[in-house]
Chains A and B, each alone.
Chain A
């Protein structure tokens, strides 16, 4: 039986077994997946990221594997003792090992949230990312919705501690496919810092197809960090979809340091005036690692600002992809949208494909974009070496200098130190 058939059967079976409030969403998503299928190589959005090859092998479908041993703890982030920790194992939220400690932070199983006080929010926003990603992969995630989570940040609360989200896959029993799902609602005038990270246990092929949707209300503030430093056999499609429904602020930083095939989708849908959002990213790849960052900024209303800056360092025979779409709808006058992507290739066998895509239907807007692909600066290298710095240290100083303006966007100190450490280790310093 093919992997896709197995997955579909599983989705069907889950749907039948869980007659909960999410069942209509699941059923619709399965229908969509049936129709769309897995994106083929000729699919424009997946041209360089051949996702279909991940479906050529069999996986255990994570939902049955609810491991609760302590192995996941090796992936804990610094200062976890004071953080809120939400742990997904094989795509399923595991409340037994998770900790919610901050006042004003609500964490519920998604199916419960769908029928209680948050029913409106869930029905209005769950699945909104699908409008922007009509490619089967997004639908596939929504066809499961098992162990999915709702995260609510109460009105006018500044969540004191960061929310760490661990997406763990346990492959000790064989290849594993996991589909974590979260819906986050940040109520008016609230603030929260979220950090997502990934970890693989066991020697196997790991494939995670994750979706997080974040609704940001009037005057709310969200800092969102994604840190990926997974194993060489771990592939990931990670979609984070922000919907700024009121004047609000989002600051997102995506750091990708390792994985087999990594695809990040970051969407910023600005549905209110005076929204402000930052999207920063750093990918530093080697070996045969493949990292693809697809971003969408959709300006529906006037007076918004988006600032996007991605940097890449590519070594070995690794591949980087950057695709930045900016839509400016007809009513979105006086918006500012900046985009830049800079890359350094460290080897002849590394590749980068970078493409800005601007679709502007308003006339009074300020948009800029630019991309560069270059080598390490020889002049700089000689300058540093002429002062007695060895070639290896000079390279690492230059690369660190290149990465620093993205690292500096990590405002959570312990996390910045941690990521800086990972990068220094990679640079061999």
Chain B
């Protein structure tokens, strides 16, 4: 469903992604790990369509469409969702009002009937209990004054509301306590299906205990330098990334 070929991207003339190749098929869960600053969030942002980054080469195909040609909202319409590493605070806009607009605009994009107030409320209640989020949080200004964990939980809630085909979770586990990680993972697993896929960016094996990946990739200095099965994550937990530097030096 997602095919990234030799993707190069950067900002202000500085290249950050230096030739990414990655294929994700329906039903799969991929994990990307890698040291700080290696380009994980940049990859996620480029996929979601953040315009600060300039794509200088390569291609991305998402469900048969040229993803890089689409506006961010069209990517969401097509079924892409990015849970931000740093969710943005928007004073004056509640999550509920935001989601009312988002859900219906995505439905319009997908050629579905828009939800009326009652239907929306029903959907919201269902997803609220799925990710165990408090209604109070959803009526407050979006992410404003939320704790780190509350922000991440809100991202998972929004993901559940929008029912994406491909969810990219950028360090959604950071800042979450153990119970919250379990709930977040349950949220992800609840929307998992043969048709959907997940890309998890994380530093910790812990999340992968709950969202078990089919593939684990190591991103380093703008490239995927190692891929493997779920055991690679365990290995990294043991040894850290020091091996990378050695390998890279030899190469």
A interface residues with partner B (beta carbon < 8 Å): 377-380, 382-391, 393-394, 397-398, 400-405
Contact = CB atoms under 8 A, between A and B. Distances in A.
Contact of B92 (A379, A393, A401): A401
Contacts of B106: 387-388
A246 B55 CA distance: 66
Given A379-B88, A382-B72, A384-B98, A389 B93 contact: no
B98 A397 contact: yes
B93 A388 contact: no
Given A386-B50, A388-B76, A401-B91, 16 more contacts: A378-B52, A382-B72, A385-B49, A386-B72, A386-B82, A387-B76, A387-B98, A387-B99, A388-B77, A388-B162, A389-B73, A390-B73, A397-B101, A400-B92, A401-B93, A405-B92
A397 B84 contact: no
Contacts, number: 82
B109 interface: yes
A291 B93 CA distance: 26
Interface residues of B, number: 32
A387 B158 contact: yes
Nearest to A429: B101
B162 A387 contact: yes
B92 A389 contact: no
B71 interface: yes
Given A380-B90, A383-B88, A397-B101, A391 B48 contact: no
Given A400-B92, A402-B92, A388 B105 contact: yes
Nearest to A403: B92
23 contacts: A378-B52, A383-B87, A384-B98, A384-B102, A385-B49, A385-B71, A385-B73, A386-B81, A386-B82, A386-B84, A387-B99, A387-B106, A388-B77, A388-B102, A389-B73, A389-B102, A390-B105, A391-B71, A397-B101, A401-B91, A402-B92, A403-B92, A404-B93
B106 to A, nearest CB: 4
A386 B48 contact: yes
B48 A389 contact: no
A394 B76 CA distance: 14
A397 B142 CA distance: 12
Interface string B97-115: 1110111011001000000
B23 interface: no
Q: Which 9 pairs across A and B sit closest by C-beta, in order of nearness? A: A401-B92, A388-B76, A388-B106, A401-B93, A385-B72, A383-B88, A404-B92, A387-B102, A385-B73
A385 B84 CA distance: 13
B51 interface: yes
- Specify which of B75, B92, B158 lies most central, judged by the most chain A CB atoms within 10 Å of its CB: B92
A390 B90 CA distance: 17
- Specify which of A388, A393, A401, A405 lies most central, judged by the most chain B CB atoms within 10 Å of its CB: A388
Contact of B90 (A378, A385, A398, A403): A398
A382 B50 contact: yes
Nearest to A387: B102
A109 B165 CA distance: 71
A9 to B, nearest CB: 52
B136 to A, nearest CB: 18
Contacts of B52: 378
A401 B71 contact: no
